[in-house]
Amino acid sequence: MFQNHPFHFESTQNHFKFVNYIQITMKKEGKILIVDDNQSVLESLKLFLKYKFTEIETISNPNQITSKLSEKNFDIILLDMNFSAGINSGNEGLYWLNEIKKISPEIIIILITAYGDSELAVKAIKAGAFDFVEKPWNNQKLLATMQAAFEMHKSKLKIKKLEHKQQALQQNINQDFEFISGNSPAMIKVWEAVNKVATTDANVIILGENGTGKELIAKRIHQLSNRKDEIFMSVDMASLSETLFESELFGHVKGAFTDAKEDRIGKFEAAAGGTLFLDEIGNLSFTMQAKLLTVLQNRQISKVGSNKIIPLDFRLITATNKNINRLIDDNLFREDLLYRINTVQINLPPLRERKEDISILVNHFLEIYSKRYNKQGLKINIKATEKIIEYSWPGNIRELKHSIEKAVILCNESNLTPEDFYFEKTNNKSNVFNKIISLEDGEKIIIKNALQRNNWNISETAKELQVGRQTLYRKIEKYDI
């Protein structure tokens, strides 16, 4: 069959060798639409390309293109340039190229024709075609073109996805500022510092208890900065072990270690041009602190397994819930690293020190969760608000948010009342320390307090209490917490 095909100029034997090769070595992915008025061409291309791509569809009439594109998404379209007998100008192909681009700009289009010339190829590329293939085609070259086109399509989709994520992130940032907003003197002071530092490239460290909104402040600084159109890269330093530190932050090259199956970009490099936010920096070991200090001093890195120097350009913001000066006094944090990251320090107040803002936050969260759980019109009465304001909120805004959400979910009335909110009285020290209790009771209280501070996050609570997760699970079960 292939020997007699007018567009195939490889021997049958070589063709099947090549087909067998791509069947064995290549992973199938991608949806292809082939548009050509020659049925033999359609059959030949479909037979050849089906070994590489997930799905191949063919049509002989270009008028069917619009309906096909409305039915499903294609990654690549192989489009003939001439459909009318005796017309070889290529204008039909250029027309349909423009029509496809109007419907789906992300689709990669490769034009094919038996009457190619350099002027037509230039026209096609200018009109938005990825490439121009002449009949008869060479299988290897055609496949290479298709693979390059598919990679281009994946890159386009990835960029579009990132753009959508960035837009969503910006919307979330704008919405979430009310999460930490307020008119209390303490927060006015924070916002003044944010507005002053944002337009500079100064390193910022944000200090505050868990749940006070440190990452949201970092995002606000980024949004107001000259780097706002670039990436905001957040890294939880508490989650990085010493073995993963360099690979995650510096990146690695293929073969650098056992599991390095491909090159990987690190967080430092990925943050290029934007803002790098290193959360929980107080959890770093001395070894990791030394490596970080070297990077910040030199503003360059080498990937694991490579000697190539990569210059860095990012704005650095860090945060911790720990007392950083106490860590230095206890020889747990390098003073020279603190000087490097602490050009400007912003202290986020706990919620108990900004009670004037609680009503604003309550109304904000009530509006969010009333919509989310389809309970529009839900109100909160004065007694419930007073109860909320009187509570000391050891878990800060995160705990308040969780409490409002829980109350909205469980309430059956149109008004939230004090009974919809239950708070442990563990925040009052006199309740614990002014009476005689057993060692076990004391341990139970400590664990309960830690769980509340960490919004019942087992990993974070275990870190705070300096015990293993399994140990903490056993204690929770033992004390029926």
Tens digits of residue pLDDT in 30-66? 899 999 988 989 999 999 888 889 899 999 999 999 8
**pLDDT given for residue 428 in this prediction:** 46
Q: 167: exposed, middle or buried (C-beta count within 10 Å: 0-12, 13-18, 19+)? A: exposed
| φ, ψ (nearest 5 deg) of residue 128 | 115, 5
**pLDDT given for residue 124 in this prediction:** 78
Q: What percent of the chain has pLDDT over 90?
A: 46
Say which CATH superfamily domain 200-349 falls into: P-loop containing nucleotide triphosphate hydrolases (3.40.50.300)
CA distance 74 to 56: 9
Taking only the tens place, the pLDDT of each residue in 174-222 is: 555 555 677 899 999 999 999 999 999 999 999 999 999 999 999 999 9
Place of tokens 């082939």: 34
**pLDDT given for residue 178 in this prediction:** 52
**CATH topology for 431-478?**
Arc Repressor Mutant, subunit A (1.10.10)
Residues in Cβ contact with 327 at an 8 Å cutoff, skipping those fewer than 6 apart: 282, 333
Instruction: Look up the CATH number of domain 12-157.
Output: 3.40.50.2300
**pLDDT given for residue 427 in this prediction:** 45
CA distance 356 to 368: 20
The amino acid at 255: G
Q: Where is 174: in which H helix or E strand?
A: helix 139-180
CA distance 454 to 398: 9
Q: Parse the chain into domains and list their residue ranges.
A: 12-157, 200-349, 352-423, 431-478
**pLDDT given for residue 389 in this prediction:** 94
Yes or no: say if 319 and 214 are a contact pair by the CB < 8 Å rule: yes
CA distance 10 to 252: 42
Taking only the tens place, the pLDDT of each residue in 254-277 is: 887 877 788 888 999 999 999 999
Cα 332-396-427 angle, rounded to 5 deg: 85
Q: Which class is 352-423 in CATH?
A: mainly alpha
What is the residue-averaged pLDDT of the chain?
Answer: 84
CA dihedral 323, 326, 332, 334 (to 10 degrees): 90
Show the beta-strand stretches assigned E in 172-324: 204-207, 232-236, 251-252, 264-265, 275-279, 300-302, 309-311, 315-320
Point out the residues of the chain with pLDDT beneath 50.
Answer: 1-13, 15-16, 18-19, 21-25, 426-434
DSSP 64: G
CA dihedral 323, 186, 394, 217 (to 10 degrees): -70
Report if pTM > 0.95.
Answer: no
**Shared fold status for 12-157 and 200-349:** yes
